[in-house]
Amino acid sequence: MKLIVRLGNPGPAYAGNRHNIGFMCLKHLAGKLGIPLDRAQGRARTSEGKVDGMRVLLARPQTGMNLSGESVSRLVNKFHINREDLFVIHDDLDLPLGTIRIRRGGRSAGHRGMESIIASLGSTDFIRVRVGIGRPELENTVQDKEEAVIDYVLSDFTSEEEKIINQTIPVVSEAIVCLLREGLSAAMNRFN
């Protein structure tokens, strides 16, 4: 079984936030695969389906971004998911808006949701689908930088940014289907 997780914050107040690009992508993928996110388990909204006969579990943690690892580790343990069968979709400040990067492993780069997952699993050996949201222009002081980044990721995309993101989301779905059908190397070669 493959476990595909999106990172983000639950609730309508966060739905359009940059930090919730993972949810937007998973919602599109669920629609494309005809798999509704309708069950509650492991502190997540989940649904199970098949892609070319392969079992796939889609999960939307309900713990909030910074505690994502609680939900992910519960699901990994409950369904005996191998690390290489875990795909995590999340936002990335260090990638230009709309850019996709797929890789196995890697550090959190300060992303608190990823920090939580890495700490909970005790491993970085899973597949990450990073979606670029760009970085805000920052002030000079460290305090201003941290606050500016938090405000930025918790704000909605502008109408101009939405145009780019609306083109990116279906490509992320294609990349995940490619990961499922053809594997990591093929997806990295085609979508990175």
DSSP one-letter code for 17: B
Question: The tokens of 89 are what?
Answer: 């979709």
Is residue 19 annotated as part of the catalytic site, yes or no?
yes
Contact 37, 46 (CB under 8 A): yes
Instruction: Please name the residues in contact with 36: beta carbons below 8 A apart, sequence gap of 6 or more.
Output: 30, 47
**Smallest Cα–Cα separation from 9: which of 132, 115, 138, 155?**
155
Report the alpha-carbon distance of residue 103 to residue 35 in Å, rounded.
Answer: 25
What are the C-alpha distances in Å from 137 to residues 93, 127, 147, 150?
11, 29, 12, 12
The CA–CA distances, whole Å, from 122 to 1, 2, 144 equal 20, 19, 32
Catalytic residue among 19, 28, 90, 111: 19
Write out the catalytic residue numbers. 19
